[in-house]
Structure 1
Amino acid sequence: MATSNEEAHRIAREQGVSGPLYRVVKLVATLVIRLLCGFTATGREHVPATGPVVIVPNHKSFWDPFFVAIVLRRPVHFMGKAEHFEGPLAKVFLRLGAFPVRRGASDAEAMETARAILRRGDALALFPEGTRVREEGLGTPKRGAARLAIEAGAPLVPATITGTEKRRWPLPRRVRIVFGTPVSVEGLAATPEDAATAIGAAWPQVSEEYTRWQNRPGVVAAGLAALGLGAWLGWRRRQR
């Protein structure tokens, strides 16, 4: 039986995560991903163990929410495309912390569900770029996540994800997540200006860590080697 959009939001607001189901799925997912993929996570101590918190990671892959969820000790809620909640697994997704959002327009229902999750004292992860950024580098962060954090009095925790770029299947390899220093929203108002100030304090941590990791010596050396190989192949073609 299909779950309506209204019913999905009601479940997300009133029931939230199913503890036993979440723990079982997280355990299985962690074992599978650790075996097939491998990942590291640092800075988890920056995510409060209790109380409302808004985590703001960069977004490169379908897999990003899974990695954020399995490395943290507490359940995390995510927005997901409304289309994912139209099938028979909708209630499973809802009890695992996901809830629907309609893309391409402002979704007041999704925003109210996000507020309900934070009022409940739960953790919410939102990708401030708004969608997956497929090209090189990161996108420009939007203010919505920061505004929700200000309304709830919740800290903003930046998170940098590397290793998931351009990979959907098979699983990405050597994924790395770094949780940065929380940004306090104390004293800020839920205005566009203050929301821009808050996300502007959090996002540089993501951008700088992402750039630093992409520019590490091993990647640079590999890039130079690839350029050298390309130049050599071009020279060989010209000699024929």
Structure 2
Amino acid sequence: MQTTARILGGIAALVAAVAATAWIGLRIAVPGRFTTVQRVLMVLATGLVRLRWGARYARRMPCPRGSGAVYIANHRSSIDPFFLQVRSDRPMHWMVAKEFCEHRRFRWFLRQCEVIPTNRGGTDTAATKSAIRFAAEGDYVGMFPEGRINATDDLLLPCRPGAIVVALRARVPVIPCYIEGSPYGGTAGSPIRMRARVRVHFGEPIDLAEYYERCNDADAVREAAIKCLKEIARLAGRDDFEPTLAGRRWLPEGE
């Protein structure tokens, strides 16, 4: 009886030691402001990003200290957020269509990722307010100005300046990113089965302080948006590209 108790005690101690080692290892491998579950997901995501999709980065990702930020990027694939999140020191809050957030296959994962559910059509005031709050409180928000996956030959689709509205009202910098070679086979899950050679380019944080007091002025928001979108084009080596804006009602109501 005593022998059995000692064996069980030894097993329990071993399990505890392994668990503690794994927990410490996770914190070392994935530093920053993450939950344990998020750290595990980060390790898995990093494996996919590096090994399956061959991601390489031209430079370190700018992560403002003591401030939130809005990251904007071109959008060629459903996995585009992965390429930025694995380089971040905290969760990035991405806007994701509500139907995915409520889908049984994606619900748990997206909840762990702390995404912002949003309506596909028109302006979603609640989602915009959530993004502003996250950024103002020092978190990172990720947004795709194109609003949908670009399956054309154009560098960027006509964009909505919602990301710029968020940055102006939260008074945080915008960080432009260009993702090159992101795989996509027509469905949200198709990239998992595809190999790729992705290159990610980060620009310098864009200070929009000169526009803060004019955040409700459509012309000022438009000017700031074009300025930021041109930086994405510059990262793509397309200094000649002229971004265009889409939609008429993109300023949230009730502000």
- Judge same fold: TM > 0.5, yes or no: yes
Aligned mate of 2:43, from 27, 40, 43: 27
In the other structure, the counterpart of 2:107 is 90
Listed as ranges, the matches of 1:36-55 within 5 Å are 36-55=52-71
**Separation in structure 2 between the aligned mates of residue 134 and residue 81 of structure 1, nearest angstrom:** 18
State the match for 1:210 in structure 2: 236
Out of 176, 180, 184, the residue aligned to residue 158 of structure 1 is 176
Residue 91 of structure 1, CA deviation: 4.4
User: How much has 1:71 moved relative to structure 2?
Assistant: 2.3
Indicate conservation of the 8 Å contact 2:34/2:91, yes or no. Answer: no
> Mind listing any 5+ residue stretches in structure 1 that lack a counterpart?
1-16, 213-240
Q: Does 1:101 align with 2:127?
A: no
Q: CA deviation at 1:172?
A: 4.3
Distance 2:63 2:221 in 1: 20
Task: Confirm whether residue 183 of structure 1 aligns to residue 206 of structure 2.
Answer: yes
1:145 is matched with 163
Q: CA deviation at 1:166?
A: 4.1
Higher Cα radius of gyration: 2
State the distance in 1 between where 2:127 and 2:147 align: 13
Structure 1 Cα separation of the partners of residues 62 and 223 of structure 2: 20
Q: 1:115 deviation in Å?
A: 1.6
Shift of 1:208: 2.7
Instruction: Identify unmatched segments of 5+ residues in structure 2.
Output: 1-32, 239-255
SS of aligned partner of 1:124: strand
| TM-aligned CA deviation for residue 141 of structure 1 | 2.4
Residue identity matched to 1:150: L
Corresponding position: 1:173 with 2:196: yes
Superposed CA offset, 1:193-234 (max 9, x none):
22212222211121133245xxxxxxxxxxxxxxxxxxxxxx
Choose which of 224, 227, 251 in structure 2 pairs with 1:198: 224
CA contact (8 A) 2:73 2:143 kept: yes
Equivalents in 2 of 1:180, 1:210: separation in Å? 10
Is the Cα–Cα contact under 8 Å of residues 75 and 144 in structure 2 kept in the other structure?
yes
Runs in 1 of length 4+ with deviation above 6 angstroms?
A: none
* Identity among equivalent pairs (%): 27
TM-score (norm 1): 0.75
- Show the counterpart of 1:60: 76
- Give the total of aligned pairs: 196
Structure 2: distance between partners of 1:40 and 1:21: 25
Q: What letter corresponds to residue 148 of structure 1 in structure 2?
A: V
Q: Offset of 1:50 from its aligned partner? A: 3.9
Query: How far apart are residue 25 of structure 1 and its match?
Result: 0.2
Cα deviation per residue 1:120-170 (whole Å; 9 max; x = unaligned)? 210001101111111012212221111110101110110000011544332
How far off is 1:18 after superposition?
A: 5.6
Equivalence for 1:117: 134
Q: Are 2:165 and 2:221, in contact at CA under 8 Å, matched by a contact in 1?
A: yes
1:232 aligns with: none
